[in-house]
Structure 1
Amino acid sequence: MAMTMTQKILAAHAGLKEVTAGQLIEAKLDIVMANDITGPMAKPIFEEMGSKVFDKDKVVIVPDHFTPAKDIKSAENAKAMKEFACEQCLTHYYEIGRVGIEHALLPEKGIVVAGECIIGADSHTCTYGALGAFSTGVGSTDIAAGMAIGELWFKVPSAIKFNLVGKLSPHVSGKDVILHIIGMIGVDGALYKSMEFVGEGVSSLTMDDRFTICNMAIEAGGKNGIFIVDDLARAYMQEHSVKTYTEYTPDEDAVYDEEYTIDLSAIRPTIAFPHLPGNAKTIDEVRAMEPIKIDQVVIGSCTNGRMNDMREAAAILKGHKVADHVRVMVIPATQKIYLQCITEGLAEIFIESGCTFNTPSCGPCMGGHMGVLAAGEKCVSTTNRNFVGRMGHVDSKVYLASPAVAAASAIKGVIACVEDI
């Protein structure tokens, strides 16, 4: 029977020859990940199920959401995860000074590779599909079960095929692609479906573009996002990991609920207006409006805190100053990227232009710390969600955009793109 990439991975991990959309299966897990918010909630459930993790090399703890700890409660949560990691002798625990934003850190450390079945107690776990893995976010109860027994049940998702053609224009990135797609199909357009990306246009996308696209699959309601494995993905895994991996390709006659062809060359810089990632408008539509004055810019997160994102933002900010009424936070996603920004001179560019240059953290993305918005404030952010109150006060507004748009907006003081500088 013909299967999609996701269906093939799930079949292999369930020990089945084939699976079909809607089928309930129990699959073995390669990686189980939790952070400093979800891990503490999973811990008491785990303790009821047993005293040992199923594999100390396959359970990963990354305290990244409220770290450096912003208050006593977040410090206690981080402490609980540290103690758990020590008790369980976990190989992969990342304390302050070694931590990074989880969805950038795991690929960088070579913990996740193609063909694996991965769960994380964070909705943006779907990021790792950029490497050709099945990865999805689950709740803390499921994470507890996964840590204890190394297996979890799934309903096999149906799929949507995105055939990518053409090549992106300068200063247009994977963030613009996924905002364009979500704007096209809606925030529930891929509800519990696998978003599968194939086509000759894939080869023109950087790995950072692909991580960004898969990261936001959940914002279209997707169960997961996944790219076909090519030479660029193989080179990335060879550089970062020593693990063996398995490549899965979709059968030519695999069944998809919908199929779309996306011409990358036609995509313009795209901004998601409040209060949904699907409320997408091109920069050309924005220019037809009254200028939207902003108060804050955030460049970073698990969506756009990677090295290419830092370089793009720095190249635009170089020689410019941030608008007087705008505060800008630049947050590299990992310690490695942070250091690379310093050695390449990007940190100096950020600081001289008037930005803060902060330690890796999820902080401002979900209104945790390091950039909470006050009532009435507007923020252009390279993060992944712009729900009501997402980054602070319920009367604040968040506009999702690429690092290029964010940097240009910081300079202009209104929503803008590189063409406007």
Structure 2
Amino acid sequence: MKLYENGAYLVNGRDVVINSPEAASAVQAKTGKTVTPEDAKKQTIAYGILKNHNTSGNMEKLQIKFDKLTSHDITFVGIIQTARASGLEKFPIPYVLTNCHNSLCAVGGTINEDDHMFGLTCAKKYGGIYVPPHQAVIHQFAREMLAGGGKMILGSDSHTRYGALGTMAIGEGGPELVKQLLNKTYDIDMPGVVGIYLTGTPQKGVGPQDIALAIIGEVFANGFVKNKVMEFVGPGVSNLSVDYRIGVDVMTTETTCLSSIWRTDDQVKEFYEIHGRTGDFEELNPGETAYYDSFIELDLSEIKPMIAMPFHPSNTYTIEELNANLMDILDDCEKRAQVSFDGKVDLDLKSKVKNGKLYVDQGIIAGCAGGGFENICDAADILKGSSIGADEFTLSVYPASTPIYMELVKNGAVANLLETGAIVKTAFCGPCFGAGDTPANNAFSIRHSTRNFPNREGSKVQNGQVASVALMDARSIAATAANKGFLTAATDIDVNYSKPKYFFDKTIYENRVFDSKGVADPDVEIQFGPNIKDWPAMSPLPENLVLKVVSEIHDPVTTTDELIPSGETSSFRSNPLGLAEFALSRKDPEYVGRAKEVQKAQKAVEADTCPGDALPEIHPVMDTIRATFSDVNRSNVGFGSTIFAVKPGDGSAREQAASCQKVLGGWANIANEYATKRYRSNLINWGMIPFVIDQGELPFHNLDYLFVPKIREAIADGKTEFEAYVVKDGALKPFTLRMGELTPDEKDIILKGCLINYYRG
């Protein structure tokens, strides 16, 4: 794999000219034309799709309107509640509500099924589509029923990626979907486009997860594709089946790119024909001379079976490399765990080594990444006639949709899997986020799913519990299962892959999925459950701001799962205050209590009573501030909490990572940088200021008070640099906070306190 930071031209979809002083002449020699990089950028597939969806008239400042929206049942309740509070009358474009996260309705009593009934009645009232639990995971339904060539889809799940089907899809926090529901736009600067030039054909036994992990391992840490569009081109694309492309594409989220798009061909056309949607196919190719801001060349034939060790999809090795350096790599993972868990619990992986081989406790093939038809068929072929054994090792397989499950039943794959001792389950995203097949304490799980973050798959450090997950391809997971749990690469075994043809049965959805066909029925009453709560009132940004630092996190990256845990918290995602009780609970259990203490002062201000009476430690803080800023008083100051994290927001698009902080009185985050655009957007949409601070020794520490004077005026004036002070020991110590440029709408949202206030006027 070769990375070219300075970009490249692609001529006629095949000839690569790496950017250099001689590049323009080389391009002219091939085409007989003089082309500037600025003009050639317009020849990418991504540029054409973005242009067709941009409403601003300015291709540097995009205002995008999407064709369709999709959400699942730990996001759609909050989204619709926000939109209702902001004046929603009807879904203006197709909006699909899938139920693939809170599917286990026994968890939390009636809570989860109440969310589902809320979704069904909203689909009827506002004119949407409702997919019942166990029918399909969100992204498989979108591939089967929503995607279309040249279209754009916005989803409230970070793995919203349908580029292999010619659809540019973006995963964002819920407030961005609210904007679309209210006929507003998605506002971003024109993103860079990275060309991913594929050649060659994968080795037998190498699957899409292997290709994806190889890419992630190369580009995550260096930010090579961060907030950019990955455009897959080159002759190697046609050497991959569409199912295979989909498996690579969904994992592009883990690179921190904004979106993805692939050139399309007759195989994609056949995919749409199989699904009865021939009219949705569009052939997409870059123009005669396309220019990419940066470029990657990848020979698919060189990729070997991969494994992403705990605790990130970028912590990658070939399985061959892991087995050759087993104890050293496991020791490194244990040391990483000490950092991730702040030394509070020990991860013991080296004890998993038996007779020089790594023994695995659990295998999972599931969800939007692993649950595809070809992945499961190949796994069944590998396991045919084998046994997974009667020891600790277990294997669970989750087809990504009921139509896939049905075809696997018809062609015998399910029978082959069940015969080995594997269990085949219904479409469910739980194994990906810690709500299903949670490993035992100190167990090691290998999964063809999307993530293996710390604190995600059952670790509760405060209770002394820890589990770890490695990511692998379904084929190597099946090979490991056939070897009764000893780690094995699929290329190490000889298998005759049957490659059965896929037949899609749409009557399954016709019988169970509610589709309003876009017709709203305003007479339908929404069905609420006792756990579905409205958002609490939120104040506008004050003139001056007093912040208390209530958590200080120095991990290199902080995931959204650490900001608001997944898994058992899912049942509370329709209850903003109930869910907020879990904020940072697996990373900093003292956060919630500290944030609530500071919030007492703000509530006193809102009630026009003395904040110092509600929070006595405020008295000396205000005395110190007023000694220099005499005009500051409770009529023009606000109190709230903030956290510092080096690089927060990697991973999930869940808005609750920000909203939970907000409902607990958070006014800001302070970071060296934000891991993703979507987390920064979530902060802004909940009225929180995304401050950044230069790397190096911090001028403040946990539990310090900070004062930011005239913050409202500075935000309104569009400033990106702010004077701030540490209030300590009777003195003000100055330091500087910064913030990236805000759009006019983003400024107004922060000034008004949140997106809901913004739309209320």
Does the pair score TM above 0.5? Answer: yes
Q: CA deviation at 1:248?
A: 4.1
Q: Deviations over 1:386-408 (max 9, x none)?
A: 10022222521111011101111
Name which of structure 1's ranges 68-77 and 229-238 shifts more when overlaid on structure 2: 68-77
Aligned to 1:79: 117
3-state DSSP of counterpart to 1:222: coil
Aligned to 2:544: none
How has the CA–CA distance of structure 1 residues 400 and 346 changed in structure 2, closer, same or farther, with 3 Å as cutoff?
Answer: same
Distance 1:38 1:7 in 2: 30
> Residues 137 and 400 of structure 2 are in contact (CA less than 8 Å); yes or no, is this contact kept in structure 1?
yes
Aligned to 1:358: 425
Name which of structure 1's ranges 145-154 and 291-300 shifts more when overlaid on structure 2: 145-154
Distance 2:189 2:361 in 1: 43
Equivalent residues in 2 for 1:179-328 (5 A)? 179-187=213-221, 188-240=223-275, 241=277, 243-244=279-280, 246-288=282-324, 289=326, 290-323=356-389, 324-328=391-395
> Residues 378 and 398 of structure 1 are in contact (CA less than 8 Å); yes or no, is this contact kept in structure 2?
yes
> Residues 27 and 151 of structure 1 are in contact (CA less than 8 Å); yes or no, is this contact kept in structure 2?
yes
Q: Deviations over 1:328-352 (max 9, x none)?
A: 1110000001111111111111111
> Residues 373 and 393 of structure 1 are in contact (CA less than 8 Å); yes or no, is this contact kept in structure 2?
no
How has the CA–CA distance of structure 1 residues 149 and 354 changed in structure 2, closer, same or farther, with 3 Å as cutoff?
Answer: same
Distance 1:365 1:199 in 2: 31
Equivalent residues in 2 for 1:341-352 (5 A)? 341-352=408-419
How has the CA–CA distance of structure 1 residues 37 and 84 changed in structure 2, closer, same or farther, with 3 Å as cutoff?
Answer: same
> Residues 174 and 205 of structure 1 are in contact (CA less than 8 Å); yes or no, is this contact kept in structure 2?
no
Equivalent residues in 2 for 1:78-97 (5 A)? 78-90=116-128, 92-96=129-133
> Residues 54 and 149 of structure 1 are in contact (CA less than 8 Å); yes or no, is this contact kept in structure 2?
no
Aligned residues: 412
What TM-score comes out, normalization by structure 2 length? 0.52
Aligned to 1:26: 63
> Residues 159 and 196 of structure 1 are in contact (CA less than 8 Å); yes or no, is this contact kept in structure 2?
yes
> Residues 162 and 261 of structure 1 are in contact (CA less than 8 Å); yes or no, is this contact kept in structure 2?
yes
Aligned to 1:50: 87
How has the CA–CA distance of structure 1 residues 115 and 25 changed in structure 2, closer, same or farther, with 3 Å as cutoff?
Answer: same
Aligned to 2:529: none
Equivalent residues in 2 for 1:169-180 (5 A)? 169-180=203-214
Q: CA deviation at 1:239?
A: 2.9
Aligned to 2:670: none
Distance 1:203 1:16 in 2: 35
3-state DSSP of counterpart to 1:255: strand
Distance 2:382 2:467 in 1: 26
3-state DSSP of counterpart to 1:69: coil
RMSD value, Cα: 1.9
Distance 1:414 1:140 in 2: 41
> Residues 164 and 263 of structure 1 are in contact (CA less than 8 Å); yes or no, is this contact kept in structure 2?
yes
Q: Deviations over 1:278-337 (max 9, x none)?
A: 111112102212422111110121002111011011001111111322011110000001
Q: Deviations over 1:195-244 (max 9, x none)?
A: 11100010010111111111011101110121111111122123322544
Aligned to 2:600: none
Distance 2:105 2:452 in 1: 24
What TM-score comes out, normalization by structure 1 length? 0.93
- Of residues 389, 396, 417, the one that matches 2:489 is 417
Letter in 1 for 2:458: G
> Residues 386 and 400 of structure 1 are in contact (CA less than 8 Å); yes or no, is this contact kept in structure 2?
yes
Aligned to 1:7: 47
Q: CA deviation at 1:83?
A: 2.0
Letter in 2 for 1:322: I
How has the CA–CA distance of structure 1 residues 307 and 150 changed in structure 2, closer, same or farther, with 3 Å as cutoff?
Answer: farther
Identity %: 29
3-state DSSP of counterpart to 1:379: strand
Q: CA deviation at 1:94?
A: 0.8
Distance 2:92 2:487 in 1: 48
Letter in 1 for 2:209: K
- Of residues 330, 337, 340, the one that matches 2:404 is 337
Distance 1:130 1:44 in 2: 33
Equivalent residues in 2 for 1:371-386 (5 A)? 371-386=437-452
Q: CA deviation at 1:15?
A: 4.6
3-state DSSP of counterpart to 1:259: strand
Distance 1:76 1:250 in 2: 47
3-state DSSP of counterpart to 1:337: helix
> Residues 88 and 181 of structure 2 are in contact (CA less than 8 Å); yes or no, is this contact kept in structure 1?
no
The answer to which structure, 1 or 2, has the higher relative contact order (CA under 8 A, 6+ apart) is: 1
Q: CA deviation at 1:88?
A: 1.7
Task: Point out the structure with max Rg over C-alpha.
Answer: 2
Q: CA deviation at 1:265?
A: 0.8
Letter in 1 for 2:50: L
Distance 1:68 1:346 in 2: 25
3-state DSSP of counterpart to 2:291: coil
Distance 1:246 1:14 in 2: 19
Q: CA deviation at 1:374?
A: 2.7
3-state DSSP of counterpart to 1:86: helix
Q: CA deviation at 1:382?
A: 0.1
Distance 1:61 1:196 in 2: 28
Distance 1:307 1:95 in 2: 21
> Residues 233 and 263 of structure 2 are in contact (CA less than 8 Å); yes or no, is this contact kept in structure 1?
yes
- Of residues 473, 478, 498, the one that matches 1:402 is 473
Matched, 1:165 2:199: yes
Q: List runs of 5+ in structure 2 lacking aligned partners.
A: 1-38, 327-355, 461-465, 494-761
Q: CA deviation at 1:66?
A: 2.0
Q: CA deviation at 1:120?
A: 0.1
Letter in 1 for 2:123: A
How has the CA–CA distance of structure 1 residues 118 and 419 changed in structure 2, closer, same or farther, with 3 Å as cutoff?
Answer: closer
